[in-house]
């Protein structure tokens, strides 16, 4: 039985380790987070992802997957560690460096090293390969090296790991082919081999495509607000065209992918990427835009009940979430802020979380920032009974309000918040 060592047991590494274990490999999952490792060895998980708890329990109980804080001799090493941005938005490759260095003592001739982490273009060739070479290996001949970017959507990880098409970039052909064989053990989607550079860049462009398109939808929202147009209806109608796919506007773009990856391209070719850069700026401007609109409907010192801390619906991940900035901005403006998120545990955040009832008590506005399923049908009776002013401002267009005495705003009727533009529409 071949052995795989997965370094990094996060949202991608842990499900990947579990899938390889399920498909017949002996897998050791390595993380510096001892808590995650201990939980794993008890067959438990430290993150929320549909189906993952059951899968991990099965493969740990079967003795196929175990956790460790140090790597072990293996046939294949998969590096799946975070690549955050420094404050100046350049890529922080420290985790990639330390993960690569951590496996060096365990490398044997013929081993395959795969980097799954999202990285700036040229990182495999100019950064990872030299680390392995420096310890005396001929990369591509004695140690095979490939980049296999993950493309799964949180909330659907176990399905997409299997079904999505996989792009595999090898430092040379033989490395790519060897990596393709490994993923072939459970991937049913096509596995396409290419160079490391193309694999790195295609991964980044996937998320950049989405980011720039969301920026376009957000810009449309601002334009429509100014001109008294229903932006959401415009999107719906424009998308009836067979070749148009306008994205959805929102309170900003969060998560560890869309809000981060475009900067990896900008960093390497700043002069050549003004559009990508501008898309980032527009999306980063949305928290301020949201708070400016809250100011139109809630008096100073009023209470805003923020619903949703995660960066998107039905997950527990708060990384880069626009909600965090919106909360800070609201507090700066001296609003009282209560927070409700049924997917987030108190220990995950520095803010005090409330129950639904406490969050809306005496509130002047419910501000929806995430499209969690729980928010689709809010308890309208409680809203009437408990809120001081029954107003819902839904930046994700996900709530259905039936009662006419609850004021409901979304990105389709923002202009109604401002009497000036409302007059313009009447004329």
Nearer to ligand SAJ, 247 or 280 (CB): 247
242's enclosing H/E stretch is none
Nearer to ligand SAJ, 210 or 407 (CB): 210
Nearer to ligand SAJ, 178 or 247 (CB): 247
Task: Give least dist CB 344 to ligand SAJ, A.
Answer: 15
Task: Please tell me the distance from the alpha carbon of residue 50 to that of residue 233, in angstroms, as a whole number.
Answer: 32
Residue 83 tokens, joined = 């690549």
Task: Please tell me the distance from the alpha carbon of residue 105 to that of residue 184, in angstroms, as a whole number.
Answer: 28
Nearer to ligand SAJ, 220 or 406 (CB): 220
Instruction: Give me the count of residues in the chain.
Output: 427
CA dihedral 242, 237, 279, 150 (to 10 degrees): -50
Task: Give least dist CB 115 to ligand SAJ, A.
Answer: 14
Q: Which alpha helices (DSSP H) does 228-370 contain, by range?
A: 231-238, 261-268, 274-284, 286-297, 322-332, 356-360
Look at residue 382 and give its three-state secondary structure: helix
Nearest CA to 364 among 346, 386, 332, 395?
Answer: 386
| Geometric angle at alpha carbon 359, from 45 and 221, rounded to 5° | 85
Nearer to ligand SAJ, 258 or 383 (CB): 258
| Other C-beta atoms lying within 10 Å of the C-beta of residue 211 | 24
- Which residue has its beta carbon closest to ligand SAJ? 257
Task: Name, in order, each residue with C-beta under 8 angstroms of 117's C-beta and a sequence gap of 6 or more.
Answer: 8, 79, 80, 81, 82, 83, 95, 96
Burial of 230 (0-12, 13-18, 19+ CB in 10 A): middle
Residues in the site for ligand SAJ, rule: CB under 6 A?
A: 118, 150-154, 206-207, 210, 214, 247-248, 250, 253-255, 257-258, 311-312
Task: Give least dist CB 112 to ligand SAJ, A.
Answer: 22
Look at residue 307 and give its three-state secondary structure: strand
Task: Name, in order, each residue with C-beta under 8 angstroms of 23's C-beta and a sequence gap of 6 or more.
Answer: 185, 186
Residue 231 tokens, joined = 């932006």
Task: Give least dist CB 253 to ligand SAJ, A.
Answer: 4
Task: Give least dist CB 251 to ligand SAJ, A.
Answer: 8
Q: Do residues 143 and 132 touch, judged by C-beta distance below 8 A?
A: yes
Task: Give least dist CB 263 to ligand SAJ, A.
Answer: 13
Nearer to ligand SAJ, 152 or 191 (CB): 152
Task: Name, in order, each residue with C-beta under 8 angstroms of 226's C-beta and a sequence gap of 6 or more.
Answer: 415, 421
Q: Do residues 142 and 133 touch, judged by C-beta distance below 8 A?
A: no
Question: Tell me, what DSSP letter sits at residue 370?
Answer: S
**What amino acid positions are annotated as catalytic residues?**
203, 257
CA Rg value for the chain: 24
Nearer to ligand SAJ, 26 or 261 (CB): 261
* Maximum CA extent, the chain: 77
Question: Tell me, what DSSP letter sits at residue 108?
Answer: -
Nearer to ligand SAJ, 325 or 364 (CB): 325
Task: Give least dist CB 37 to ligand SAJ, A.
Answer: 23
Q: Do residues 411 and 343 touch, judged by C-beta distance below 8 A?
A: no
């Amino acid at each position: 039985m071949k052995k795989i060592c997965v370094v990094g047991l996060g949202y991608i590494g842990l499900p990947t380790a579990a899938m390889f274990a399920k498909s017949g490999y002996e897998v050791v999952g390595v993380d510096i987070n001892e808590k995650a490792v201990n939980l794993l060895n008890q067959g438990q998980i430290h993150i929320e992802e549909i189906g993952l708890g059951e899968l991990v329990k099965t493969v740990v109980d079967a003795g196929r997957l175990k956790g460790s804080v140090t790597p072990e001799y293996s046939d294949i090493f998969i590096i799946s560690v975070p690549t955050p941005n420094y404050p100046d938005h350049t890529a922080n490759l420290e985790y990639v460096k330390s993960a690569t260095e951590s496996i060096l003592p365990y490398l044997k001739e013929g081993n395959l090293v795969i980097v799954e982490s999202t990285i700036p273009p040229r990182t495999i060739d100019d950064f990872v390969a030299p680390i392995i070479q420096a310890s005396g290996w001929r990369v591509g001949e004695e140690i095979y090296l490939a980049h296999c970017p993950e493309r799964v959507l949180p909330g659907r990880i176990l399905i997409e790991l299997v079904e999505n098409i996989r792009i595999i970039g090898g430092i040379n052909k033989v490395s790519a082919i060897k990596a393709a064989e490994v993923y072939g053990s459970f991937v049913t989607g096509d596995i396409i081999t290419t160079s490391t550079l193309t694999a790195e860049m295609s991964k980044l462009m996937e998320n950049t495509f989405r980011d720039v398109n969301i920026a376009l939808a957000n810009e449309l929202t601002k334009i429509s607000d100014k001109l008294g147009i229903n932006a959401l209806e415009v999107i719906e109608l424009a998308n009836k065209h067979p070749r148009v796919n306008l994205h959805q506007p929102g309170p900003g773009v969060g998560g560890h992918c869309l809000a981060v990856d475009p900067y990896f391209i900008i960093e390497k070719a700043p002069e050549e990427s003004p559009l990508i850069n501008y898309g980032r700026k527009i999306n980063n401007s949305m928290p301020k835009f949201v708070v400016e609109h809250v100011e139109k409907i809630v008096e100073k010192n009023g209470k805003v009940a923020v619903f949703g801390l995660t960066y998107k619906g039905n997950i527990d991940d708060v990384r880069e979430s626009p909600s965090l900035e919106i909360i800070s901005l609201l507090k700066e403006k001296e609003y009282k802020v209560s927070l409700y998120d049924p997917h987030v545990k108190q220990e995950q955040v520095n803010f005090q979380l409330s129950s639904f009832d406490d969050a809306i008590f005496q509130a002047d506005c419910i501000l929806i920032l995430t499209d969690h399923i729980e928010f689709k049908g809010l308890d309208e009776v409680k809203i009437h009974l408990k809120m001081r002013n029954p107003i819902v401002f839904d930046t994700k267009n996900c709530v259905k309000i039936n009662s006419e005495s609850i004021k409901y705003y979304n990105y389709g009727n923002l202009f109604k918040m401002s009497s000036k533009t409302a007059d313009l529409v009447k004329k």
